[in-house]
Chain A
Amino acid sequence: MKKIILVLFVITRSLIADGYFWNEKIGVAPVTDALYKRECASCHFGYQPGLLPSKSWNKIMVNLKDHFGTDASLDDEDNRKISKYLIDNSAEKFTQYKRSRKINESILANEIPIAVTKVDYFKRKHNEIGKHLIRQKEVGSLSNCIACHTTAQRGIYSERDIKIPNYGRWEDD
């Protein structure tokens, strides 16, 4: 009996922490914009707009000529359309999604991270992963979400969906 109560307690606690009782959604809202997919996700993982606040998207989109060391420039019209999509769907507007909320909460007012990998919450979540697992050719860097998060495409970054190449499932203790 005690065991059952304990199990129920643990489950309830984790559900509260996950925002289950106030309808918080897991992950981030999936990508919906076809132009964004076409123009951005042709070179890298299609990061959901809810992974960064609008101030970050703004900074990224005005600097596409030097986009992490490569030229990703767009013509003005496409740049405007994609910027609008990213800003309309940015983290601070989608705080009903758990990851967007956490990301947003961890960014200081005077901070403008230009990648989700620079966000404090993200760094904390990934600090236990060995360098060799990140640098291996199947992954390359922490910006390659889909290499380990099997459901990243759907905006779901839950622990149970992680599978690190040449390592396997990630069990946090």
Chain B
Amino acid sequence: MSKVLVYILILISSMHARGLNSQMNDYMTLLQEEAKLQNRNFKSFDYQRGELIFTTQRIGKKGKLISCVSCHTNELSKKGQNIHTNKVIDPLSPIYNSSRFTNVKDVKKWLRRNFRDVYSREGTAIEKGDVITYIINKDLK
């Protein structure tokens, strides 16, 4: 029975990690293991939960209401703009910007920074996995 469960989990994880390179797949697997330690009932990363993380507005460090959408927009195929510096941000969707989600070091860095900016704390493994799942799958449909 537990074997079946493992297979299902592997299947789900490989679906969510569709199109990712091997270092990113490894990272997603790592997040998944952490997620299971964090919550016994954890099944898999979830697009809807990720969307909520991405779009929920919070009082950011500067006292203004911000969300991930503030800079990245919610059209991940399009360019965004840093609200503090006006600098253009390339599309987040790996389908429209093939350099996205290819380098684990970069992904970790931006998750750390941006969670702190919007949520004033780092994301948990579940949250990170959810939001990545949202971003990489949003434009697949």
Which of A44, A69, A71, A139 is in CB contact (< 8 Å) with B113? A71
CB distance from A74 to the nearest CB of B (A): 7
A44 cross-chain contacts in B, Cβ below 8 A? 82, 84-85, 87
B113 cross-chain contacts in A, Cβ below 8 A? 70-73
**Secondary structure class of chain A's binding surface, majority of residues:** loop
Contact A140 B86 (CB under 8 A): yes
Number of B interface residues, CB 8 Å? Answer: 15
Q: A100-158: which residues lie under 8 A (CB-CB) from chain B?
A: 137, 139-140, 143-144, 147
Number of A interface residues, CB 8 Å? Answer: 20
**Contact of A75 with B by CB under 8 A:** yes
CB distance from A138 to the nearest CB of B (A): 8
Complex interface bits, A57-79 against B, C-beta within 8 A gives 1, otherwise 0: 00000000110111111110000
A71 cross-chain contacts in B, Cβ below 8 A? 61, 112-114, 116-117
**Contact of A85 with B by CB under 8 A:** no
Complex interface bits, B54-90 against A, C-beta within 8 A gives 1, otherwise 0: 0000001110000000000000000000101111000
Subset of 27 A-B contacts with CB under 8 Å:
A42-B87, A43-B85, A44-B87, A45-B85, A65-B116, A66-B61, A68-B84, A69-B60, A69-B61, A70-B61, A70-B84, A70-B113, A71-B112, A71-B113, A71-B114, A71-B116, A71-B117, A73-B109, A73-B112, A73-B113, A73-B116, A74-B109, A75-B105, A139-B86, A140-B85, A144-B85, A144-B86
Q: Give A contacts to B, CB under 8 Å.
A: 42-45, 65-66, 68-75, 137, 139-140, 143-144, 147
